[in-house]
Copies of this chain bind each other. A is one copy, B any other.
Amino acid sequence: MKEFTVGIIGAGRIGKVHAESLTKYVSNVRIKGIADPFMNDGLREWAISMGIETASTNYQDIIRDPEIEAVLICSPTETHSDYIQEAARAGKHIFCEKPIDTDIEKIKETIEVVEQSGVKFQIGFNRRFDHNFRSVRDAVAAGRIGEQHIIRITSRDPSPPGIDYIKVSGGMFIDMTIHDFDMLRFVSGSEVEEVYAVGTSLVNPEIGLAGDVDTAVITLKLASKAIAVIDNSRQAVYGYDQRIEVFGSKGSIETGNDLPSTAVISSAEGVTAEKPLHFFLERYMAAYSREMVEFIDAVRNDTDTPAGLTDALRPVQIAKAALASLLSGKPEKVIY
Contacts and interface: CB of A to CB of B under 8 A. Distances in A.
Contacts of A27: 49
A271 B275 contact: yes
Interface stretch (A97-105, A147-155, A172-180, A294-302): A147-155
A265 interface: yes
B254 A263 contact: yes
A225 B27 CA distance: 51
Contacts of A136: 263
A62 to B, nearest CB: 25
A256 interface: yes
Interface string A248-283: 011111111110111111111111111110000000
A25 B312 CA distance: 33
A233 interface: yes
Contacts of A250: 237, 267-268
Interface in A129-185: 131-132, 134-136, 139, 144-145, 147, 149-150, 152, 154, 156
A273 B238 CA distance: 14
Per DSSP, chain A at the interface is: mixed
A231 to B, nearest CB: 5
Nearest to A262: B256
B251 A255 contact: no
Interface stretch (A36-44, A67-75, A85-93, A195-203): A195-203
Contacts of A28: 49
A182 B247 CA distance: 24
> Which residue, A152, A216, A221, A266, has most C-beta atoms of chain B within 10 A?
A266
A217 B148 CA distance: 14
A45 B314 CA distance: 44
A219 interface: yes
A240 B247 CA distance: 13
Given A200-B225, A271-B275, 13 more contacts: A23-B24, A147-B202, A149-B202, A198-B227, A200-B227, A202-B225, A229-B229, A233-B247, A238-B270, A238-B271, A250-B268, A253-B265, A255-B263
